[in-house]
Amino acid sequence: MAAAVAAVEQGADVTVFEAARTLGGRARALPAQLPDGTPLTLDNGQHILIGAYSETLALMQRVGLDLSQAVLPLPLALPYPDGTGLHTPAWAARWPAPLDALAAIATTRGWSWGERLALVRASLRWQRGGFTCAPTLTVADLCERLPPRVMRELIEPLCVSALNTPTVDASAAVFLRVLRDALFGPGAAGFSGSSLLLPRTDLSRLFPDAAAQWLHQRHGDAARVRIGTRVSTLRPFGAQWLLGHEGGEEAFDGVLWATAASPAAQAMRQAADACDEDGAKTLKAWARSAHTLPFTALTTVYAWAPGARLASPLLALRPDPDAQAAPAQFVFDRGQLDPRNAAAQGVLAFVVSASSGERDELQARVLQQAAAQLGLGTLQALQTVVEKRATFACTPGLVRPVQAIAPGLWAAGDYVQGPYPATLEGAVRSGLAAAALAAEALRRHA
């Protein structure tokens, strides 16, 4: 949808094909219900934004969203249920970056002064180095001199939430890039870069639905969004590409392929069969690069209990030496995010990044964790979403597929070559970049 908006703004006629009945891909609304049958809208995984997501926030505003209604902004804070953990003091909440983040680190509750100073010094050292490092370093390598508590209570949860990859495997170069924008960047749309922006609504309404409405209202027949229409074939047709679906075949001057990596690789391999030798070679090489990406899983456990309410809309959960015993890193209070929605009251979303194990087993362990850490032994599971290939594993030196696949054919997705890990901002930036490449190429050949 980011690519569609950008392409239309650059003068293109656009058709969006969406196989599902709901827009948003892996960040979309999900129908559910409470135990008494009351309808409830959840998401295909709990996501957040941060104030550093400049392209995402600008795009949301371009399609008419009121950010004050769409997201709940919170100063940088990762509090634990007992009140300890990272907080931005009220007196520092409006300080410019990086002073707000440094104040949060310096006043972290439950840490010794030595632990706080160690993290402040490391942050300033990373800033002096331009937030760059050797591409072979892991986050664990980068932070090896930090105290164990800092690693356990801050670096590990930050890394696994941003990169969906444990510190021992995660790319330090990408982690530093995220820290640069989040803690030391200027932010966007009036937010500090480190602000946590929690969606007040479901993820389809957060942007994709508004984008579809904007396309229709502003551009009419020049922008078509076809939901429930799966593209089954892709093949060259002179200087164009033919897309086949249940309604037949249509020719387009350019195609932006915006599916996940696995179906994209499969589509390119199939398209290669209809190409000449050079074209087939190009498409197969791109398909191999997408197919060989390592992936990690992400699980969201939605649970409910009458009157369940957290001390904050977002809480960090204590790690356990045995990660299997306490798998969730964060919990969100959906009732506080959408206080006017009666059905959302008492609904909690537990996020397990880099998850492993089967759905029912994960769900049971998360409910046990909620009882132990939150004192909520009456929670009932509503729905558990396990995405086995949720994000690519953001490891050192990882080579991601390039954006330009072949003449007139581009890829858009959070796994495509770019500066960000698999996040909403990464997906948006990829869509915008693909649209810009397509517009330039089509202008040259006009």
Domain count, the chain: 2
Please check whether residue 207 lies inside any domain of the structure.
no
Residues 420, 391, 59, 226, CA torsion sign: positive
Q: What is the pLDDT of residues 22-67, one digit of tens each?
A: 999 989 999 999 999 999 999 999 999 999 999 999 999 999 999 9
Output the pLDDT for position 407.
95
Please check whether residue 311 lies inside any domain of the structure.
yes
Domain boundary among 351, 377, 392: 392
Q: What is the pLDDT of residues 121-137, one digit of tens each?
A: 999 999 999 999 999 99
Residue 313: closest CA among 78, 20, 18 = 78
Q: What is the pLDDT of residues 359-376, one digit of tens each?
A: 999 999 999 999 999 999
> Are the beta carbons of 406 and 438 closer than 8 angstroms?
no
Q: What is the DSSP string of 273-295?
A: TTS-HHHHHHHHHHHHHHHT--E
Output the pLDDT for position 239.
92
Residue 363 exposure: Cα atoms within 13 Å on the Cβ side:
15
> Are the beta carbons of 159 and 151 closer than 8 angstroms?
no
**Residues 6 or more apart whose Cβ sits within 8 Å of residue 440:** none
CATH code: domain of residue 330: 3.90.660.10
- 400 or 319, which is more confident: 400
**Measured distance CA(270)–CA(166) in Å, rounded:** 35
Q: Say what the pTM is.
A: 0.94
Residue 353 exposure: Cα atoms within 13 Å on the Cβ side:
27
Confidence of residue 292 (pLDDT cuts 50, 70, 90): very high
Confidence of residue 276 (pLDDT cuts 50, 70, 90): very high
**Measured distance CA(408)–CA(442) in Å, rounded:** 8
Please check whether residue 332 lies inside any domain of the structure.
yes
Whether the per-residue pLDDT at 345 is higher than 90: the answer is yes
Please check whether residue 219 lies inside any domain of the structure.
no
Q: What's the mean pLDDT in 387-408?
A: 95
Confidence of residue 321 (pLDDT cuts 50, 70, 90): low
Domain with 80, as residue range(s), is 76-194
Enter the tokens of residue 298: 């992400």
Domain boundary among 368, 392, 416: 392
What is the DSSP code (8-state) at residue 402?
A: P
Q: Is 31 helix (H, G, I), strand (E, B) or coil?
A: strand
Lowest mean pLDDT, pick from 167-176, 212-221, 343-352, 365-374: 212-221
Q: What is the pLDDT of residues 193-219, one digit of tens each?
A: 989 999 999 999 999 999 999 999 988
Amino acid letter for position 207: F
Please check whether residue 136 lies inside any domain of the structure.
yes
Domain boundary among 345, 368, 392: 392
